Chains A and B, each alone.
Chain A
Amino acid sequence: MKRATSRLVAGALSLAVVGSATGGVIAAQADDAAPRAQAAQQGGVQITPARVESTAKKGTVASFTVKNSTKDTLRVTVTIRPWSQNRATGQVAINKRANLSPYVVASPQVFDLRPGTRSLKLNMKRTTASGSLYGGIQVFAKQKKKKATNGIIPQYEVIGALRLNPRVKRPNLRVGAADVVGRGNGRALILAVRNTGNTLDPVSGTVKITGPTGRTSTIPAVSIVPGQVVYLRGGSLSGMKGGNYTATWSITQGTKRYTAKRTFRL
């Protein structure tokens, strides 16, 4: 009887120990599960490389990967669109009303992406007359089965850059008119320049201003998309006396140099 009691006690004790240990494990799992559940609620889309660069030629020119880090299947659409460049800042945004599908397409263009990664190829169907092509890679992703969370359905759009450089670079610029923009101390000299060549090589240089007050400024380098116009910044005009001035612009793009003289009045 005594032995039986001791066995019972031992059994109860071992059960308690096992139970407490299991409970501990369960508790630990529950603690771990909380951040996991929280993390699963967030996710997104990534593209790499975000800047795809290659030489323009017919056929497969490059590849890139799209990753879905959400917990849902996403319907992904990839479109290559031309850039629209801001004249004042030189920054670009895709033109959503146009696409470059006659020239370059992603393969596949539309696909379902489960959580994970997929590699895509970029095929050049037709070469351009200039021999180069620059545009944005628009990766649009939406939930395959729309699930409104609190009334809001999020969609993702990630825009990378595609640079298909020419085999033979032909830098060429058309220099336009100069102007004075801004007021007071914010007055600055600008020069309109159109890229009529086929490269994205940055445009930079110096501008020498002669007149009642003399000044030499450096033009900040800017990449101009072929076909687009950007205002080169000739520096601030604050503190300069009124009168007629002549600005001599020395502009370089790669190895090519341009000189332009423009007059302006303050």
Chain B
Amino acid sequence: MKLRTMLAGAVIAVLVAPTAALAQTPDPVSGGTNVGGSVPSFLELILTQPSKGFAAFSKAKSYEMSFDAQVTATDAPTLLTLADGDATSGSKLGHISVGSKRLAAPLEAAVGRSPFQPLDSAVDPLLTKWTESATRLKSTVKLRQKVTGKSTGNYRKVLLVTLSTETP
């Protein structure tokens, strides 16, 4: 009986000793040294290649395509906008063109469930706004082109995607 009690005591001692030792060891994080650091402010805009084509339009319909914009920003708020990179005014503004030919309807853009906005207006369409810091947050930018008839040729459009801080 005595031997059994001693053995049980030894087992308990063996099990408890490391736990007690662990309890006495100071937490490495709060062991008297403040842990911290500074991270430089950061802005990053990543675009993926568009999935479907907008170069040729074989029949009259509404064509849609999309690409992803990934944003990393430490200073909020941050704004993502889209604009025509070819023209800032005139008849070609917001219209997909090839040479002197241009499609009648303007190119339209939207993010998420927001309605499509034409790119031929004087104000750049606001796509998304982040009110907090963001890390590789993805926004899918949808583009829509309405075509009224078959349009041949290698149509193209330069799109300017802007990521901007809103804090001076």
**Interface residues, chain A, CB within 8 Å of chain B?**
41-51, 67, 69, 83, 85, 91-94, 134, 136, 142, 146, 148-161, 163, 200, 223, 225
Tell which of A44, A46, A50, A146 touches B47, judged by Cβ atoms closer than 8 Å.
Answer: A44
CA distance A154 to B143 in the complex (A): 13
Cβ-defined partner of A158 (8 Å) among B45, B50, B65, B68: B45
* One of A146, A152, A160 near B43 (C-beta < 8 A): A160
Pairwise interchain contact B49-A50, C-beta atoms closer than 8 A = no
For A152, the chain B residues whose CB sits under 8 A away are 50, 54, 65, 67, 143, 156-157, 159
A-B contact pairs, 29 of them (CB 8 A): A44-B44, A44-B45, A44-B47, A45-B45, A48-B41, A48-B42, A49-B40, A49-B41, A50-B165, A51-B75, A51-B165, A92-B167, A142-B85, A150-B49, A150-B53, A151-B50, A151-B155, A151-B156, A152-B54, A154-B47, A155-B158, A155-B161, A157-B164, A158-B43, A158-B44, A158-B45, A158-B163, A161-B167, A223-B168
**Are the CB atoms of A44 and B70 closer together than 8 Å?**
yes
Cβ-neighbour of B156 out of A41, A134, A136, A153 (below 8 A): A153
Q: Which of B137-168 contact A (CB under 8 A)?
A: 143, 154-168
A92 lies within 8 A of B168 (CB): yes
Q: Which residues of B contact A94 (CB under 8 A)?
A: 164
Q: Are A150 and B167 interface neighbours, CB within 8 A? A: no
**Contact among A47, A48, A92, A154 with B161 in the assembled complex (CB-CB below 8 Å):** A154
| A148-B154, A151-B154 known; A51+B161 contact, CB < 8 A | no
Q: Contact: A150 with B65, CB < 8 Å?
A: yes
- How far is B68's CA from A223's CA once the two chains are assembled, in angstroms? 33
CB of B7 within 8 Å of the partner chain? no
Q: Which of B40, B46, B48, B85 sits near A69, CB closer than 8 Å? A: B46
Which B residue's beta carbon lies closest to that of A45?
A: B45
B104 interface hit (Cβ, 8 Å): no
- Residues in B with CB closer than 8 Å to A146 are 158
Check A93 against B159 for contact (C-beta < 8 Å): no
B52 contacts chain A at the CB level, 8 A cutoff: yes
Given the known interface contacts A153-B158, A155-B161, the answer about A50 and B41 at a Cβ–Cβ threshold of 8 Å is yes
B62-99 interface (Cβ within 8 A of A): 65, 67-68, 70, 72-75, 77, 79, 85, 96
Q: How far is the CA of A91 from the CA of B157 in the complex (A)?
A: 30
A149 CB contacts on chain B under 8 angstroms: 49-50
A50-B73, A158-B164, A159-B163 known, 5 other contacts, Cβ within 8 Å: A42-B49, A43-B47, A91-B166, A150-B50, A225-B168
Q: How far is the CB of B110 from chain A (nearest CB, A)?
A: 15
A166 nearest CB across to chain B (Å)? 15
Number of B interface residues in the complex (CB < 8 A)? 45
In Å, the complex CA distance between A92 and B30 comes to: 41
Q: Is the CB of A159 within 8 A of B159?
A: no
Shortest beta-carbon contacts, A-B, top 7: A44-B46, A151-B54, A46-B44, A151-B55, A159-B164, A50-B43, A91-B166
Chain A residues within an 8 Å CB radius of B42: 46-50
> Given the known A-B contacts A42-B49, A150-B54, A155-B158, are A93 and B166 also in contact in the complex, defined by CB atoms under 8 Å?
yes
Q: Do A156 and B45 touch (CB < 8 A)?
A: yes
Give the CA-CA distance A92 to B78 in the complex, in Å: 10
Cβ–Cβ contact B159 & A153, under 8 A: yes
A134 touches B168 (CB 8 A): yes
Q: Give Cα A160–Cα B44 distance, bound, in whole angstroms.
A: 10
Min Cβ gap A125→B in Å is: 21
Complex Cα distance, B40 from A46, in Å, reads 12
Q: Which residue of A lies closest to B56 (CB)?
A: A151
Closest to B83 in A: A157
Nearest B residue to A64, CB-CB: B40
User: Which residue from chain A places its CB closest to the CB of B73 in the assembled complex?
Assistant: A50
Report chain A residues within 8 Å CB of B45. Answer: 44-46, 156, 158
Q: Which residues of A have CB within 8 Å of B79?
A: 93
User: How many angstroms from the CA of A149 to the CA of B156 in the assembled complex?
Assistant: 9
Residues of B within 8 A of A45 (CB): 44-45
